Structure 1
Amino acid sequence: MNRPQEEWARRSLAAFAATVRPDVEWTPFHRAYYRLLDAFAEGRIRRMMVSVPPQHGKSFGASVLLPAYLLGRDPRIRIAVASYSFALAGRFGQQVQRLMSEGSYRTVFPATLIKGTGPRVQQERTARRTAQEFDCVGFGGGLKAVGRTGSLTGDRVDVLVADDLYKDALEAHSPLVRERIWEWYHAVARTRLHDASRELLVGTRWHEDDLIGRLKRTEQVVELSEWGQTEGVPTGTWVAVSFEALKTGPPTELDPREEGEALWPGRHSAGWLAQRRSADPTLFEALFQGNPVVREGLLYGDFGTYAALPAGLLRRANYTDTADTGEDRLCSICYAAAEDGLCYVTDVVYTSRPMEETEAAVAAMLERNGTTLAQVESNNGGRGFGRAVERRLREVGVRGCTLRLFHQRGNKEARILTHAATVVRQVRMPEDWRVRWPEFAADVCGFRRVFRANAHDDGPDALTGIVETELAPRGGRILAGGFSKR
């Protein structure tokens, strides 16, 4: 190993990882993940919570490479690595020891030695080294691995790494287990920390009231989307990052993927992830998307589905709810109203992309579905959106679609809650709707009765609008060419 490479490996966790484990795969996700861990190692981020899908290498980076790197930089610090079981935490500790015993590690950090790896025989007599605990010879630092109920009594903790404190969904959905972890974190782990300590929580999400979820509700948290946010983080503030298996929303500086792209396509392709999502959308949202939703208290039951549209269709219609704010999503739903009194959803545009893109997408959807009546809420920019869609339809020669703009005066929360049962009773979805429109399905199926608990209400709002339209159709002035506006 040449000198420049050694020096670079001492200054960067990514360079260190590439030096001691040349087989590490460097996807854009892994580069971002190690950059975050590097900011933590340097102390620019002192409290960080990271949600990562299973089998994406989070534990190797956070619970093996990071502790070894930190002890190489400063063999005086005391690190605690905690996980859901004593055995798993111990395996992390053993992997750290094996790494620190290798020649490539000692070349980068020659001063950091553990018992049995160096010439300091006299000093080694007092150094501890067991499967779950070891000291750095001559410096007093080291690592201790504990289960989530393990003791840290008498130990100073400079760096706490809590990696997957919940074993599975059964544990995470147990109020008793969640409360025990909360008590252990406050009564055991935090009592060993001091003003300069650092905390790292990594894991997959199982439940909205897990440790990460509860800390987000009770403490100051900054959701990271730009690298500049890692500078000047206020003391005591958590930095939170969630890496989705399938990207939703527009690209960010931290995660520049396009919507729908897989996080690690070489390991988990978008197609494979879509299959997992269709099998259990709620579980997928938690484990792979970092967006856990408790099944209790959901507003909607299971929607009825259909394999083919029935005979006796009355009209092909559409309802569009434009995005009110930057965080909202446009939801445009095409459906067929039938003689049996049901509304059969045929197509959906559900996105947070900018208006210039959604205008074209909605116009194209209206054309391919043969829509004859399209209702667009004119609130908060909806009027301009509707006119733009009208113009695009004219440009492609569509004349048979009546576009009706109206102002929605009803209270959104009251409307959605009031019509929830009717929506489930009257609306039918295609059999593959969870696969065709996964984000729409996740937000609708996971919608909670407690309104403030929901991140997005755009899907339920549009479905409610469909029911209201069919129960009490609105009038409007028909314009030349088949379009109308109010």
Structure 2
Amino acid sequence: MISEQNKAIVKAIRSTGLNSYKTLHDYLDLAKSIAEPEGDDDLAYSLQMTAEIKEIVPKLPLTQEFNDLYWQAMLFEAPHRFESFLFYMEKNRQPKKRFYQPRAKTLKVVVDDLQDLEEGQLDFYGLSLPPRVGKSTLCIFFLAWVIGKRPESHNAMSGHSGILADRFYNDVQKLTENEEYTFQEIFPKVQLYKKSADKNELSYDEVESFATLTCRGIDGTWTGAVDISPDGYLYVDDLVRDRTESLSPVRLENRYQDYLNVLVDRKNDGARELMVGTRWNVLDPLGRVEEKNKSNPRYRFRKIPALNEESESNFDYDYGKGFSTKYYQDLKERLDRNEWEAKYQQKPFVREGLLFPEAELRTYNGVLPDGDYFTAAACDVAWGGGDSLSMPFGNAFGGIGGDIYIADWIFNKGDKDVTKPIVIAKTLQHMPCKEHFEANNGGDEYADDIDRRLKDEGYKINITYSKASNQTSKMAKIIQFAPDIKRRFVFLAEKYRSEEYQNAMDELMTFVQIGKNEHDDAPDGLVQLLQLIDGGVYAKCEAMQRPC
């Protein structure tokens, strides 16, 4: 615990304004002295002080003295703060050649996650990013940091092949030994005592019988040769080789059992885990771990897609590194949808148990067939925060049991101020004879406001709302109506869909009967529309000529 005397000194120095080199230099020296007892509270206090210095210095005149002071604060933090380690490790490299600095705007959240993992807030961290954006390199930096902090610990890295293991081994050795990096300055007492290129082992402690780091493919020798200490890490990177392997449930099951019986088996109690992988299939090892631990707060799963919700690149890094929005959009056009969604958007598209697989859905070119029909729309209201307002517009032919052509689909994550004008505009465009809104969580008030605004526009429509029944679960209802949705609904072909329509279809086509679904807005909206058109729990609607 920081002493009252030190607190008084800190207060006195702060009162000077912390705007001169001498004052800031004294402040840094005090931070270092407070941390010397190495108590958690003392260190945390010292790190708050150095964070102040790093925030203040860039606002002061650019001089060599202030620049040196800034890096001294960063060096003090480097053994304790992973991001400071990353910055200081590349201090002597040209900015455009650095790994982390150009990528920090996207990878900062991953760095913070890894800090939480190292501080013991997590037992497991799963990471899914597109190819070649730096995920493996960042994790290799992380393992180098852990080695510097605890050279006597035992850690292991593995992947689907020995080739990956060779890369891990060489890259960690480079980070800790190459003078281009400042590892020896951050951890002056840590040195490489022994290495084996044949075994891919690096030992930074001359006493321990097991290596500090062992890099080995999952098909290599693990039993009796690898140990992961209670303060160590198992780092697993891409256990599934490619899409071909992901299509085989048998091979995925075998790979998962190998992961448990070969890799996890080498962990001692307390060892933590870092797993990186492309989300090919919910049955891959990362998907299996996520499903089993979805409610465990000590397990965290981070997924960052190539394109964000605005279809803009998440990985357009500084200095021309990374990938532009155009690059990803062009790639999306060329790739098979399944591969794009899994490899780049982190959505395991190819998987067992799909309730609405693309091959089983009917599509049309946007031209309706001849015959009488009526138009209806059902709205599953959402209020932002990740859920989507789902409102498909269906043209129903042939009465109950007939085909329903989905001409348009509002699928929007915005709040009510965003979605209400869209609902009004689409209603006036398609002129349905009736609309139904789910009344849960204020949906009735939402419907009343839509009704009022439509009347202000001079359009009268039958609008109903009701609360979802609590007698049947949403999943059970979706499963119940799934055959009708596949048999009777006819969706716009992909090239005729709006972006929101396509997002709704993506969610529909990745919905699984067994396993975890992140959202169910798309299939639930279709169920509500089907019930509205056929009568269901709502008032029956007779077929009529489309109003002119």
Does the TM-score normalized on the shorter chain lie above 0.5? Answer: yes
TM-score (norm 1): 0.79
Residue 109 of structure 1 corresponds to 187
* 1:306 pairs with 2:370: no
Residue 56 of structure 1 corresponds to 133
Q: 1:385 to 1:260 in 2, by over 3 A?
A: farther
The 8 Å contact of residues 277 and 435 in structure 1, kept in 2 or not, is answered as: no
Residue 109 of structure 2 corresponds to 32
Residue 144 of structure 1 corresponds to 214
Which of the numbers 286, 290, 300 marks the counterpart of 1:216?
290
Larger % of helix: which?
A: 2
The 8 Å contact of residues 165 and 216 in structure 2, kept in 1 or not, is answered as: yes
Residue 155 of structure 1 corresponds to 226
The 8 Å contact of residues 511 and 517 in structure 2, kept in 1 or not, is answered as: yes
Larger RCO (CA within 8 A; separation ≥ 6):
1
Residue 465 of structure 2 corresponds to 405
* 1:19 pairs with 2:78: no
Residue 144 of structure 2 corresponds to 68
Partner SS state of residue 113, structure 1: coil
Q: 1:328-343 alignment to 2 at 5 Å? A: 329-337=388-396, 342-343=403-404
* 1:375 pairs with 2:452: no
Higher mean C-alpha displacement, 412-421 vs 468-477: 468-477
Higher mean C-alpha displacement, 129-138 vs 316-325: 316-325
- Residue 84 of structure 1: CA displacement? 0.7
Aligned residues between the structures: 440
Partners of 2:227 and 2:539 in 1: CA distance: 72
Residue 130 of structure 1 corresponds to 197
Residue 164 of structure 2 corresponds to 88
Q: 1:176 to 1:449 in 2, by over 3 A?
A: closer
Partners of 2:257 and 2:407 in 1: CA distance: 49
- Residue 110 of structure 1: CA displacement? 2.7
State the one-letter code of the partner of 2:203: D
TM-score (norm 2): 0.70
Partners of 1:46 and 1:425 in 2: CA distance: 45
Which of the numbers 405, 413, 430 marks the counterpart of 2:492?
430
Q: 1:46 to 1:470 in 2, by over 3 A?
A: closer
Partner SS state of residue 462, structure 1: helix
- Residue 75 of structure 1: CA displacement? 1.8
Partners of 1:346 and 1:272 in 2: CA distance: 31
The 8 Å contact of residues 282 and 446 in structure 1, kept in 2 or not, is answered as: no
Residue 314 of structure 2 corresponds to 263
> Percent identity over the alignment?
24
Which of the numbers 169, 172, 194 marks the counterpart of 2:246?
172
Residue 394 of structure 1 corresponds to 455
* 1:189 pairs with 2:253: no
Structure 1 residues without counterparts, runs of 5 or longer: 115-123, 224-236, 249-258, 478-486
Residue 484 of structure 1 corresponds to none
State the one-letter code of the partner of 2:241: K
Which of the numbers 410, 419, 422 marks the counterpart of 1:358?
419
Partners of 1:186 and 1:214 in 2: CA distance: 11
Partner SS state of residue 11, structure 1: coil
- Residue 66 of structure 1: CA displacement? 1.2
State the one-letter code of the partner of 1:149: D
Residue 445 of structure 2 corresponds to 384
Structure 2 residues without counterparts, runs of 5 or longer: 1-67, 542-548
- Residue 379 of structure 1: CA displacement? 4.6
Give the greater-gyration-radius structure (CA): 2
Residue 512 of structure 2 corresponds to 448
Higher mean C-alpha displacement, 34-43 vs 75-84: 34-43
Q: 1:436 to 1:206 in 2, by over 3 A?
A: same
- Residue 221 of structure 1: CA displacement? 4.8
The 8 Å contact of residues 410 and 500 in structure 2, kept in 1 or not, is answered as: no
Larger % of strand: which?
A: 1
